Amino acid sequence: MKSSLAIGDAAARFGLPAHVLRHWESMGLLSPARVEGERRRYGRADLERIAIIVRAKEAGLGLADIAVMLGSGPPARRAVLERNRDELRARICAARESLALLEHALACGHEDVASCPRFRALVAERVGLPVGESP
């Protein structure tokens, strides 16, 4: 890697448009070096920070929470991380339940999966109804 990258090259490494890095900079999440003509240059530490931001966004954190995670003291950071962890666990649980429903539908021998008792039970669980009861 060159010692530093232009904004377009840095953004491309992460599959991002350059305006995203500019926005993150305006929010105080990034502070790349400036060279002639105020052009931004992204070094290794900047790229690592971008990677952290991208990963945090993939985990569901918003930019405000990422700013706290990266720039606040331990108590505030911990509170944000715990809240986001709990939200992520809930999304993972919901995704696993959805995956189980899809896997059952794919493996089900019923011509119409909606008539399958097991499929209907999985759906009823999600809706919070006793099996066999309709809304």
- Burial of 18 by CB count in 10 Å (0-12 exposed, 13-18 middle, 19+ buried)? middle
Give yes or no for residue 81 having a pLDDT over 90: yes
- pLDDT value of residue 122: 82
Q: How far apart are the first and last CA of the chain?
A: 59
pLDDT of residue 23: 98
pLDDT bin (cut points 50, 70, 90) of residue 68 is very high
Mean pLDDT of the chain, nearest integer: 91
pLDDT in tens, 99-119: 998 999 999 998 899 889 888
What pLDDT score was predicted for residue 131? Answer: 61
According to DSSP H, which parts of 14-73 are helical? 18-26, 44-58, 63-71
Domains, the chain, in order of start with CATH, read 1-60 (1.10.1660.10)
In whole angstroms, give the CA distance from residue 43 to residue 39: 13
Distance CA 85, CA 59 (A): 9
